[in-house]
Structure 1
Amino acid sequence: MFGLVHFLSLKFTSSCDEVANMDGSREASTNSLLNDECYADFLTEDFDVKTYTAQAIHHAVIAEQLAKLAQGISQLDKELHSQVVARHEELLAQATGIESLEGNTPLAHISLNLFVFSRRIRTKIVDPYNKIVARTAQLARLQVACDLLRRIIRILYLSKRLQGQLQGGSREITKAAQSLNELDYLSQGVDLSGIDVIENDLLLISRARLEVENQAKRLLEQGMEIQNPTQVGTALQVFHNLGSLRETISGVVEGYRTTIQDNVTTALDIKGLTQSADSRGAPGRAVMSTPGNTAAFRATLWTNLEKLMDQICAACGQVQHLQKVLTKKRDPVTHVCFINEIIKDGQPDILYTFWSDVTHTLSVEFQRATAASSFLKQALEGEYPKLLRLYNDLWRRLLQYSSSIQGVISSSAVLDNAMDLPTTETDNQDLFTHAKHDYNPEKALKDSLQPYEAAYLSKSLSRLFDPINLVFPMGGRNPPSHDELDSIIKTITSELNVASVDTSLTLAVVKNAAKTVQLFCVKSEQLLSTQGDASQVIGPLTEGQRRNIAVVNSLYRLYQAVAKVISGLGSCPLAAEHALTALMASAVQPLLLSVSDSIEAIIITMHQEYFSGSMSTPGKPDVPCSLYMRELQGFVGRVMADYFRHFQCVDFIYDNTESIAQRCITLFIRHASLLRPLGEGGKMRLAADFAQMELAVAPLCRRVSELGKPYRLLRSFRPLLFQNSELIASSPAVGDLIPYSTLLHFLFTRAPSELKSPHQRAEWSIARYSQWLDDHPSERDRLTLIRGALEAYMQSVKARQGKEFAPVYPIMVQLLQRATSGAQDSRT
């Protein structure tokens, strides 16, 4: 039965696999076999034949069980048969495919042989490889051990040498630092812990390094404090040998910067200032805490600021001394300059960095303190020149200190050759601009004062404007008095004297003074009289003229005072001077124009007098001068006495009346050349007028001989009155001194009436022609008009078929041609 069951289980399992793949038409017949409980045990994964047989014998009838099993086997056979029949073609194909396995068999043999061969090679290689790996590791350990032994031997040697160097004190400190640096190099990248032979030496080395560092720091601090470049250079060499030069220098400079910041904060602490001011009060007396209004508060403030400037100067001096030594000190082995170790990688030098930090700290702390206390702000703004003087003194001391440091270091370099401080090209360079050429250290220092300078200048301008506004009230008609002018001048002088502590501040206050003068000019201009009575020259002084004279005198006094005050300054407020002189000129201009017009009106009356007469008889001599000349002399003398003598600015008046005198002479010669007809008697009287003209214009100028070209023209023209036409045309004064047009006008007087003067030909009056000459100062325009008159005369002679021209005509034409050619040559 056991065999039957075993056979059935195998059969049933394989049949079940086939049954699971049957078509849908046979599912009904196979489901009955699969669902039968008798065969359910054969489908389990853990089916055991022995267990099933034992259970079947124990629980069921053997005969029935066998019959059931036989029936199942029979049913399975039928199913297998039906499957074989149904899948006949597929089975044949599988059987045919077995032949292809014979082609793959050689490949399998080759693969098997290769596998066996590789196993043999591996067996031959693995053992040598393992031996090589082991020997390599052994060699590496030997090398590490040898390197460690060499390090230990060197450490023991250097440790022993270090002990001797430490006993040498400061004389051997640089060598000890060099030994420590080498010991640090030997200890890098190696774990030396647990080595008994050098354990004590390592402990000694760590203690020695700490001792050397502390000793070098003390040496550096002492050397910087007493400004000893030798000690500083030794300490720097120690830190360079220890490899911590940059870190040490950064720490030292940072310490100074922190100290400066603390000092600035303490100096501007409003609580400290108030307490110090209160403590100065008398005992037993209540003290009101009003720091902005107490002298004690400000005295304490300025004492603190003076102390702060001393502290900043001392710190900057020490940092400057440190940089000087760094600039000169070189390592004796590598010959590398220490300053190059500090500023490498494009970093700025230590003094530039320190100074930038100091100026930034001053700016920030001052701004913070004044923002927190209005009393402090008022004190700094009100006494800004005093604060600026402290800054200027600080800068001056720093510059002097820089020069003294250079001398000390140079002398130390000579005395101590061991320092190796060679002279470099940076001896004469400004250390503050070593890093940046466009950096202005003095400007950086004073930039922190810009807010207080602006406030002070604003208040200064207000103080300068106050007396101006006070002496010019609204609706006032009178200029300031002498006392009021003195008050204005004293205010300007006081502001300039206070600002004299600094050149830039002085220039700024000078600009404010210029604005003050301009305001004075604006206020004074409003007082000037512009009515017609301000320019009259007929009667006595009017009220408007008196006021204008008083305004000009006040302007002149202010001009003198300002010029005196600023005479010691490097520059003058040109705008203020121009404003004063321009307003003075504007004030007297109407009167000057009126005088000039009156003089011209008097001179033009000479054409109403008789100049065509012949020589006078001996019994009736002519008067020394004409009536118009006597009137001119009287008018000029009266004007100077009645009007211009009241002006205090004598030089200014002469500067303006001299132009009137020059104009007077020019007009006199113009109209004298236009007189027509001119007899011999008229020439004599005109010659006398020429002499009297010098007397007429004398009151208008300092000296008549200083009138320049018009005076020389007056002197040169007079002799021509009595010369013939040929000599007149050939005179050397013609052209350069006497204009051709003026001489041609004079020659018209010697021509017949048919040869009309240019104004006669144009049918103009003498006054109109004179005005035309003023409007056309170009000699070319005047000669063109004269040419037209000569051409008209030539046409008239041809028209009447005249046989000859007037004797003077060819001379005039020749003179005109010479004038025209000379004008063309000058243009070329």
Structure 2
Amino acid sequence: MDAKDVCVEIENDDFYSKFLDESVKPLINENISVTEQVTKLALGIEKLGKSLEKQVLAKHNDLLTQASHFSDLETTLESVQSQVQSLLRGAEKLKDRVHTPYYALENQTRMLERVQTTCNLLRHSSKILALWNKLEGVKDNPAKEAIILFELNELTGDYDFDGIELLQEVLREVQHRRKELLANSTEALQTSLLNGDKTKLLQCFKVFHNLQCTDEQIKNTVQSILNDLKKEIATALNVQMVSIEVKKSSSGRMAPGKANIMNAQDFKIKLWDNIEKLFKVEIYNSCTKVIMLQNVINELHAIGNFRNIAKNFWSNLLVTFANELERSPLNVSQSIEIDFPKLLKCFNDLLSRLKCKDLEMNRSSLTKWENSFLSKSLGKLLEPVRSMWHLSQVPNMDQIDNAIRVIAEALSISLGDKQLSISLANSVAKSIKQMNMEAEQRLSMDSDVAQIIESPTSSQQKNADLCNSLYYFSSQIKRVLVNMNSMLPPESIQIVQNSLKDISSMPILQLFAESIKNSLYIILMTMHDESDLVKADDPSGKTLSCSPYMKELQQFVSRCKDIYLSMFQEKPALNECCMNISVACVERFMLHVCNVRPLSKYGRVKLQIDCKHLETALSPLVSDMTELGDHYRQLKALNLILEKTPQEIAKSQSEGASLPYSLVMMFLFSHAGPQLLAPHTCAGWNIQKLVQWLDTHKNERERLEFVAGALQRYQNHVRQNQITTYDEVYPVLVQLLEDGRKSLKK
């Protein structure tokens, strides 16, 4: 049987396989007796032995070759082992040759080091003794004594002088002298700060500088000042001590039944007395000490982080004050919130007294109380505004005056602090916005809100009253700003003024203005129905009156001003509204005058009279017509061209008349014959359609082209009908058209 087959047979046999498992101990099969098991094991061993013999016989040459190789390997290993032993002996000899000089060099180096140390000790001892002798001669000069003591301290710190009896007493005395000098200088520092003796303070810091302990002394001094100040702040804000003082001061003068009420007020007064005294005395004195420290250090030109002593102290002071305030009882914190401007005034007054450019108010640590104060201030500002609006009623003057008083108080309590003033100005702006919003919500926008036929309706009267209330509110605030102009920051004034820009009667007045203008347009439209404008009579020597439509216009304007516009008290808005109506009336009047067809000489004289009466008609709206500017000049120019010939009109235009070329050309068509049709007649429009077109086409170039179309049509008509001569006005119109186009290119 092949060896491989024997192995497979043993591995697959249940009995033999148990002996192949290395991790588990084979168990004797209870079904087979011990004798049978031994016999089977012997049989298996025999099979394996025969298999091994077969393999040995089959591979005997290879086995012999390997056995010879083992002999060669043993020989080689023996040779290597002898060489290794030889190498170890050589390394041992080399170690002895290296170690011997190394140990000798090490001993010599140690000896040299000890010699050098000894020399240094001797040299330092010599210097110490020399400086000690020198120290004896400078007892009356602390600055020089400090220099010598610092050098001695540096020398003694480099080496250990224990055991040198010659120096022991000297070193002890040096340490004693240094401590004594430092203690005396520290005491002198405190005394100098208390007395404000800058010269003595300078000497102290020279000692500290020479002892190289300036930084430590400054930190200790400033921290000591800050700790003392912290106690003073805590005492000033101590509600129990304040209450005791209040009771002591009030025990003999108040009735028992009123004690609580009076004590609350007295407590507030006493608390602020303590705070004001704290700033005027304790904090001021502490700050002056630190500033003196800063100035002395600056004079010494000390190197280090000594340029921000006062600035850092001030920052720590603010934080300390805020922390103590945070730990104070609720009623103290509430008093600070209510009267926060007083606290800011204490800080600002303190800074003014100190006059130190390095100190500035950093209110970040006081943000909590400032925000609370601003929140309450905003509530106080909004409360009278909201309370005056009940249902749909219009607020009365007393209610508005109350709101103005609150606003004036809010602006006045911020005087002296720019940032607080700006914050309160923003709160005032919010109250103004609230006032305007409340009024806008109550304005009526019914269909009859702009009627000008009957007497003012209740809606119109209510709108006018609302506008007048807003105007009174706005004007009173402006008066307050004028009175405080020199005290309030420009930024605060600008914030409040900007919030007032939205308050105006103009939106409601504009509704009336549109209604009035529309009625005026209708009245002016009747100009074309006046029979006097086409009369062939000679006007010379006759006394003529204005046209009926002008009389109607005059009555209408006067009525509107007296009945409707007079309800409003805001003069700036009212003047703007009246100016708007007047300008529109003048524009529309000139447009109609220049487009009346036909127009006789008699009619031109009538229109001249109407021009003059238009000024009278508009006088209720505009007391001085010159305020209309270009429109007034154009009205005067129109009055003049009514009596001129076309040639004279063209000449005046070339000389710089104020009327637009398009308007003058439209007027000149009234001097032409029936063949030269007016522009709107050529277009097949009536006068109403012409006015609509001109309202939407105010550009002078478009209007000139509109007139040019009528001239081109007339020219085509002449050519088609072979008419030998043009209308005498035609050349004038052509020249004006050319001049008008040139003027647009300039």
TM range (shorter): 0.7 to 0.9
1:259-316 alpha-carbon deviations (Å, 9 max, x no partner):
3333333333343344443443415976999799702221232123223324333223
Query: Could you tell me how far 1:602 is from its partner in structure 2?
Result: 1.4
1:153-178 alpha-carbon deviations (Å, 9 max, x no partner):
33223223323323x2xxx0011111
Q: Is it true that 1:506 corresponds to 2:506 in the alignment?
A: no
Report if the CA contact (8 A) 1:622-1:685 is conserved. Answer: no
SS in 2 for 1:674: coil
Query: Could you tell me how far 1:790 is from its partner in structure 2?
Result: 1.8
Q: Is it true that 1:534 corresponds to 2:534 in the alignment?
A: no
Q: What does residue 536 of structure 2 align with?
A: 614
- Closer, same or farther in 2 for the Cα pair 1:640/1:115, shift >3 Å? closer
Q: What does residue 161 of structure 1 align with?
A: 134
Structure 1 CA distance for aligned equivalents of residues 438 and 210 of structure 2: 76
- Closer, same or farther in 2 for the Cα pair 1:608/1:162, shift >3 Å? same
The one of 566, 571, 583 equivalent to 1:662 is 583
The one of 285, 288, 296 equivalent to 1:317 is 288
Q: What does residue 408 of structure 1 align with?
A: none
1:528-567 aligned within 5 A = 528-567=443-482
Query: Could you tell me how far 1:563 is from its partner in structure 2?
Result: 0.5
Aligned residue identity for 2:389: F
Report if the CA contact (8 A) 2:247-2:263 is conserved. Answer: no
1:210-609 aligned within 5 A = 210-282=179-251, 294-310=264-280, 311-329=282-300, 337-338=301-302, 340-342=303-305, 349-369=308-328, 373-398=329-354, 400=355, 402=356, 430-432=357-359, 441-442=360-361, 444=362, 446-476=363-393, 479-567=394-482, 568=485, 569=488, 570=490, 571-572=493-494, 573-581=496-504, 584-609=505-530
- Closer, same or farther in 2 for the Cα pair 1:645/1:130, shift >3 Å? closer
RMSD: 3.7
Structure 2 CA distance for aligned equivalents of residues 116 and 378 of structure 1: 92
Q: TM-score, with normalisation over the residues of structure 2?
A: 0.81
Aligned residue identity for 1:492: I
Structure 2 CA distance for aligned equivalents of residues 468 and 116 of structure 1: 108
Structure 1 CA distance for aligned equivalents of residues 94 and 572 of structure 2: 128
- Closer, same or farther in 2 for the Cα pair 1:558/1:812, shift >3 Å? same
Structure 2 CA distance for aligned equivalents of residues 465 and 475 of structure 1: 18
- Closer, same or farther in 2 for the Cα pair 1:802/1:176, shift >3 Å? same
Structure 2 CA distance for aligned equivalents of residues 230 and 112 of structure 1: 82
Q: How many residues end up aligned between the 2 structures?
A: 668
1:1-24 alpha-carbon deviations (Å, 9 max, x no partner):
xxxxxxxxxxxxxxxxxxxxxxxx
Structure 2 CA distance for aligned equivalents of residues 617 and 298 of structure 1: 91
- Closer, same or farther in 2 for the Cα pair 1:674/1:158, shift >3 Å? same
Query: Could you tell me how far 1:777 is from its partner in structure 2?
Result: 1.0
Q: What does residue 406 of structure 1 align with?
A: none
Query: Could you tell me how far 1:743 is from its partner in structure 2?
Result: 0.6
Query: Could you tell me how far 1:681 is from its partner in structure 2?
Result: 0.8
Query: Could you tell me how far 1:761 is from its partner in structure 2?
Result: 2.1
SS in 2 for 1:755: coil
Aligned residue identity for 2:358: L
- Closer, same or farther in 2 for the Cα pair 1:306/1:113, shift >3 Å? closer
Q: Which deviates the most, 686-695 or 136-145?
A: 136-145
Report if the CA contact (8 A) 1:274-1:291 is conserved. Answer: no
SS in 2 for 1:722: coil
Aligned residue identity for 1:543: S
1:113-262 aligned within 5 A = 140-166=113-139, 168=140, 172-262=141-231
Report if the CA contact (8 A) 1:274-1:289 is conserved. Answer: no
Query: Could you tell me how far 1:673 is from its partner in structure 2?
Result: 0.5
Structure 2 CA distance for aligned equivalents of residues 296 and 225 of structure 1: 34
SS in 1 for 2:304: helix
Report if the CA contact (8 A) 1:489-1:561 is conserved. Answer: yes
1:608-631 alpha-carbon deviations (Å, 9 max, x no partner):
102122343778x35321111111
Report if the CA contact (8 A) 1:292-1:376 is conserved. Answer: no
- Aligned residues: percent identity? 29
Structure 2 CA distance for aligned equivalents of residues 114 and 500 of structure 1: 100
Report if the CA contact (8 A) 2:392-2:442 is conserved. Answer: no
Aligned residue identity for 1:727: E
Report if the CA contact (8 A) 1:625-1:692 is conserved. Answer: yes
Bigger Rg over Cα: 1
Query: Could you tell me how far 1:118 is from its partner in structure 2?
Result: 8.8
- Closer, same or farther in 2 for the Cα pair 1:112/1:157, shift >3 Å? closer
- Closer, same or farther in 2 for the Cα pair 1:517/1:702, shift >3 Å? farther
Q: What does residue 793 of structure 1 align with?
A: 714
Structure 2 CA distance for aligned equivalents of residues 188 and 179 of structure 1: 14
Q: TM-score, with normalisation over the residues of structure 1?
A: 0.74
- Closer, same or farther in 2 for the Cα pair 1:618/1:811, shift >3 Å? closer
- Closer, same or farther in 2 for the Cα pair 1:460/1:144, shift >3 Å? closer
SS in 2 for 1:204: helix
1:704-731 alpha-carbon deviations (Å, 9 max, x no partner):
1221001101111222122221221221
Report if the CA contact (8 A) 2:388-2:399 is conserved. Answer: yes
Query: Could you tell me how far 1:483 is from its partner in structure 2?
Result: 2.2
Q: What does residue 51 of structure 2 align with?
A: none
1:594-645 alpha-carbon deviations (Å, 9 max, x no partner):
22222221112111102122343778x3532111111112222222223333
Q: 5+ unaligned residues in a row in structure 1: which ranges?
A: 1-92, 330-336, 403-429, 433-440
Structure 1 CA distance for aligned equivalents of residues 456 and 87 of structure 2: 143
- Closer, same or farther in 2 for the Cα pair 1:143/1:514, shift >3 Å? closer
1:756-775 aligned within 5 A = 756-775=677-696
Q: Which deviates the most, 356-365 or 782-791?
A: 356-365
1:469-515 alpha-carbon deviations (Å, 9 max, x no partner):
22210243xx2222222222222222222232423222222222222
Structure 1 CA distance for aligned equivalents of residues 88 and 713 of structure 2: 144
Aligned residue identity for 2:345: R
Structure 2 CA distance for aligned equivalents of residues 366 and 673 of structure 1: 81
Query: Could you tell me how far 1:691 is from its partner in structure 2?
Result: 1.6
Q: What does residue 652 of structure 1 align with?
A: 573
- Closer, same or farther in 2 for the Cα pair 1:293/1:537, shift >3 Å? farther
1:396-438 alpha-carbon deviations (Å, 9 max, x no partner):
223x2x3xxxxxxxxxxxxxxxxxxxxxxxxxxx435xxxxxx
- Closer, same or farther in 2 for the Cα pair 1:184/1:285, shift >3 Å? farther
- Closer, same or farther in 2 for the Cα pair 1:457/1:141, shift >3 Å? closer
1:660-809 aligned within 5 A = 660-732=581-653, 737-809=658-730
Aligned residue identity for 1:383: D
- Closer, same or farther in 2 for the Cα pair 1:803/1:779, shift >3 Å? same
Report if the CA contact (8 A) 2:325-2:333 is conserved. Answer: no
Aligned residue identity for 1:302: W
Structure 2 CA distance for aligned equivalents of residues 115 and 766 of structure 1: 133
Report if the CA contact (8 A) 1:734-1:743 is conserved. Answer: no
Query: Could you tell me how far 1:238 is from its partner in structure 2?
Result: 0.9
Aligned residue identity for 2:737: L
Query: Could you tell me how far 1:139 is from its partner in structure 2?
Result: 5.1
Q: What does residue 626 of structure 1 align with?
A: 547
